[in-house]
Amino acid sequence: MAFLSCQKCTLESVIDSHCHLDQCEVPYSVIGKDLSALITVGTTARISQTTVKLAQQIEKVWAAVGIHPNEKDEAANPEARLKISTLAQNSQVVAIGETGFDNHWDVQSLEAQLELFEWHVTVARAVDKPLILHVRDKKGSFAASEKAAKAIAESNLKKGILHCFNGNEALLEIGLDMGWMVSFAGNLTYKNSKALHKAAELVPSHRLLLETDSPFLSPNPKRGKPNVPSNVWIVANFMAAIRGISIVELERQTDANAALIFNLSKIS
């Protein structure tokens, strides 16, 4: 699919449902210029504490707290887990994670990651907030996706987000069956992301979310440069083109979805 020039909806209120603001090379004073809200996501106890502080200090910013599956030492640290459990109760925190399954780097076994995932599920249930799931497979393998699909089904957790969805059909089927949202990032715009393009057409409109995963996964034509939350507009335009709808229609739907899953309408 050819890249379309980015057009912004006149409402200028799109939501970036997943970024790492603490790592973004952008002045905090301008992050909300083209956004109505963004969720900055923790990957360790320390970073999660930072996300909460940013959410407390900056308008339009909300936080998620959790331990990334590749953070082996953090996952084994009871004090880190206690910190996450405490932060999860903060009113600025709208989700738990990111957690999940990642065998791309082989930092720790998928079995160890499963225990960490299950712990996050317990925290999410305790505070009645959605879970953000990270899934990344090793090249030539679907083991992480398969483990994630099985874990989601067995958790019976009804509030969750397939963050930076990877295109795996089995994972998508389970996620949708469980009532989860499916979030697409900048890699949707890559020429070879055929599985993502297909999934972007198939996901029901009331389950779609948009994200940047900033500062990672910059969309075309900015690939190779640090990503920023405002680039969610590029993802939105590409998604609208795939689905054959206007950017205004897509923005309204994805913002409504984000407001619903993150409970933004009640806390903003």
Q: Residue 226 CA to chain centroid, in angstroms?
A: 17
pLDDT at 26: 73
Domain count, the chain: 1
Rounded to the nearest 5°, which phi and psi values hold at 223? Answer: -60, 140
- Domain boundaries, position 99: 14-267
CA-closest candidate to residue 107, choices 144, 79, 81, 133 = 144
Single-letter amino acid code for the residue at 128: D
Structural domain contains residue 1:
no
Residue 28's domain is classified under what CATH number? 3.20.20.140
Q: What is the mean pLDDT of residues 147-167?
A: 98
Question: CA 218 to CA 253: how far, in whole Å?
Answer: 23
Structural domain contains residue 8:
no
Question: CA 143 to CA 158: how far, in whole Å?
Answer: 23
Single-letter amino acid code for the residue at 258: A
When comparing pLDDT for 2 and 102, which is higher? 102
Structural domain contains residue 189:
yes
* pTM score, whole prediction: 0.94
pLDDT at 5: 43
Beta-carbon count within 10 A of 265 CB: 9
Structural domain contains residue 2:
no
